Structure formats: structure tokens, C-alpha cells
Amino acid sequence: MMRTPKLMAVLAHPDDESLGVGGTLAKYASEGADVFLLTATRGDSGRFRGYRLDDPQHPGPLALANIREAELRAAASVLGVREVSILDYHDQHLDRANPRDAVTTIVGHIRRVQPDVVLTFGPDGAYGHPDHIAISQFTTAATVAAADRAFPCDEIEALQPHAVSKLYYIAWPESTWKAYQSAFRKLVSTVDGIERQAAPWPDWAITTVIDTRSFWSTVWRAICCHESQVTAYGRLKDLSPDDHEALWGQQSFYRVFSTVNGGRGRETDLLEGIRP
Ligand SMILES: [Zn+2]
């Protein structure tokens, strides 16, 4: 009997899994793959129901982290994720984490879980978000390091090296960004006084498009688990089923590397080359 394929998403915040790759996680979980989620922070710097940290209605960073962890676990369970691991970095501080420590921690998870496929943000961090960029870099390094017998780390000494077969970056084209930002809100991150905006990938650079239409309502249920962030998602509530399907019905990726397939043809399956 063939081994169950394993897919691991490594992301920065609670809600990245639902808003970013919810359809993909739900689809592969429903098809019997084992889906693992690694989330770097507990979202402790976020707003609470729209209230900023300095507002008396905000429960404080620690309480918010606990609330958001519970929301993350609920959303992951809706999506069919088998296991959620939290690295417990501080929200908005991931790019200042010690890279050796972060990579070592992710290597430990990769060696333990032994995923066939790893998904993370691209180098653009979707809209230049420093946490997203950092997790992309750490995860990319970790997929390489996990396979390297010479990459030593005390706590994971007992674990065997593991070679991930395929690594993917989230890669949204212009059309997805347009639909997303008109339904949702314009996503920007301001870093050192400079505003960063959505960074669409050129269509020709997208290697992989996954049809997730039958999972849009699952994705929407997962998004709704993130109740403390609900004001940010408010406008999504008014969408028609057709709008929802257009938003969550297709997810695109850039195949960073694959040791099991290749070529120029566009993939429609992250497990192409892995399952028969
Ligand atoms: Zn995020």
C-alpha cells in the first residue's frame, strides 16, 4: 500500500492558513493526505475586534494570543488539518528572530513529520509583510537543511535527515489580488515608513494552479473561526456564493523546487510526481 502523502504549510500568523491556502489545505485533507500546519506566531500584536492595543476593549497581547491560538486550532480543524504546531515567536518580530534558531526549529518539525510537500509564503511576503518574508526565508532554508545530515542541532539529533520532494511559494496573480482586495480591503504593510503593497506574480511564473471550488464554503467557515479578527473580514460577509467561489475557488503557487517532476507545463496538483 502506498504511503499517505504528507503536506506541511509553514506560515506566520493565525488566519494565514485560511485566507492564504485554506482551499488547498481543505482539498488535500479531504483527499486523504495528512496535512500539517506550522504557525510561527500567535498573532499577539493584532487588533481585537477592531480595537487597537491601547484601547481598553483590547484584552492585551497575551490574552489575544490565547484567543487567536484557539481560533487557529478551530479553523485548522474545519480545514481538516491533522496537527497544528505553534513556534511562539512574537507577531511582527519574526524578521528579527535568530535565523539559526528559527531554521533549526523548522528543521526539527520537517524531520519529525517528513512531509512530501512544503508550502510557505513567497519572498514578497504577499504584500511585503516582514513576518511573511521571514517565514519564507526560514522555511526555504529549513527544507534544504532538513535533508543535510551535516546540519546539526542538539534537540533534533535523534531525528533522521528528511528530503522534502517539493517546495511551493504562495504566488497570486494580478487577477486574484484584484478579486481579493476589492472584496476584502487593500492590503498594505508600512515598514520603516515605506508603504508596501500587494506583489502580484506574473502569470507566466505561476507553475501550479489548484482547483479548490468545491471547498469555498469550508474555507469561509474556517475564516469565520477567527472571530477576534472579524471586523477586518466584515466586508467578506456580504459576498454572494459566486463571489466566494471566485475568491477561494482557485489557488496558485510557484514550485520552488521538485525532485519528482518538472517541465514547463502548468501543474494542477501539488502531489504530481508523488502519487501515482
Ligand atoms: Zn499573515
Q: Is 264 a domain residue?
A: no
With a cut of 70, list the residues of the chain below it in pLDDT.
1, 153-157
- Looking from the CA of 82 toward its CB, the CA atoms found within 13 Å total 16
Instruction: Give distance in angstroms: CA of 174 to centre of ligand 1.
Output: 19
Residue 82 in domain: yes
The string of pLDDT tens digits covering residues 78-133 is 999 999 999 989 999 999 999 999 999 999 999 999 999 999 999 999 999 999 99
Q: Does 266 map to a domain?
A: no
Angle (deg, nearest 10), helices 216-224 and 241-248: 90
Task: Return the C-alpha cell found at 60.
Answer: 492585551
- Number of domains forming the structure of the chain: 1
At residue 96, the pLDDT reads 96
Counting Cβ atoms within 10 Å, is residue 275 exposed (0-12), middle (13-18) or buried (19+)? middle
Say how many Å lie between the CA of residue 122 and the centre of ligand 1.
Answer: 12
Which helix (H) or strand (E) is 105 found in, with range? helix 99-113
Distance (Å) of CA 144 to CA 124, 151, 162:
20, 10, 9
CA of 150 to the centre of ligand 1 (A): 32
What CATH number did the domain enclosing 30 receive? 3.40.50.10320
What span, in angstroms and rounded, lies between the C-alpha atoms of 89 and 177?
Answer: 28
Q: Is residue 247 part of a domain?
A: yes
Q: Is residue 110 part of a domain?
A: yes
Cα(132) to ligand 1 centroid in Å equals 6
Separation of 112 CA from ligand 1 center, angstroms? 25
SS3 177: helix
Parent domain of 51:
6-258
* 265 in a structural domain: no
Q: Is residue 268 part of a domain?
A: no
Q: Is the pTM of this model over 0.85?
A: yes
| Ligand 1 centroid to residue 276 C-alpha, Å | 34
Q: Are 109 and 155 in contact (CB under 8 A)?
A: no
Say what the pLDDT of residue 156 is. Answer: 59
Q: Give residue 267 CA to ligand 1 midpoint distance, Å.
A: 26
The H-assigned helical ranges of 147-255 are 174-183, 216-224, 230-233, 241-248
CA of 97 to the centre of ligand 1 (A): 16
How far apart are the CA of 131 and the centre of ligand 1, in A? 7
> Is 14 in contact with 39 (CB distance < 8 Å)?
yes
Which pLDDT score is estimated for 104?
94
What residues pack around ion ligand 1 (CB closer than 5 A)?
Answer: 12-13, 16
Centre of ligand 1 to C-alpha 234, Å, is: 17
Domain assignment present for residue 272? The answer is: no
**How many angstroms separate the alpha carbon of residue 71 from the centre of ligand 1?**
14
